[in-house]
Structure 1
Amino acid sequence: MSKCTLNVSEFTKDAFNRFIEDGDGSGEEFRIKVLSPALKQNDSVTVNLDGIHDEYGSSFLVEAFANLIRKSGFSYDELKQKLELTSENARWQREIWRYIDEAKKDSEGSILRR
């Protein structure tokens, strides 16, 4: 079983940009270049959320985590099985899973509309 740990603070200390064109350290860049490849290559990925300068921007979190479902082709069940979030701030973990839950509902709704 392959495992890896990612530290967001090694990618950026200011986690608030959504898109790559918004500047360095965006959620989109983290998802595309770091998180998505790690999830594809490993059975288990732990993301350590601690060590950033301030708070996470919701735009970073949605783009990095929820859009694993909307844009990167991961299923909700796959994320529940493979993705682990760690932090001293439990609110960040809850917020990310809430965004992932919303993406799951969005994807289920789009399937029903077809």
Structure 2
Amino acid sequence: MSIGALDAVSAYGRVLGAGKAPAITENEGAGDSGGAFGNMVEKLIGDAATSMRSAEAASAQQVAGKGDLIDVVTAVGAAETALDTVVAVRDRMVNAYSEIMRMQI
């Protein structure tokens, strides 16, 4: 069974919405750069999921004969770019974690 990129991002979006962590205010995360990075990653994933949903909606409208092909191509291109960005950030995070785990104490 093959899982497409839209299915994966939709699943991530549902999981992200279901396990919503409490929001950190500016005062709580002031001395902690990890919170800022976490918020950036959360926003990045949320934006990617939103662009995937809009691409899926544009595709559905096109299939129904109500949408414009240019809008579909633009929305899919934006969604692809967002997903590529999320994957690149994930790969960098995994590489950094692997290097940290290889360090000798």
Common fold, TM-score beyond 0.5?
no
Q: Which has the larger radius of gyration?
A: 2
- TM-score (structure 2 length as normaliser): 0.31
With a CA cutoff of 8 Å and minimum separation of 6, indicate the structure with the bigger relative contact order: 1
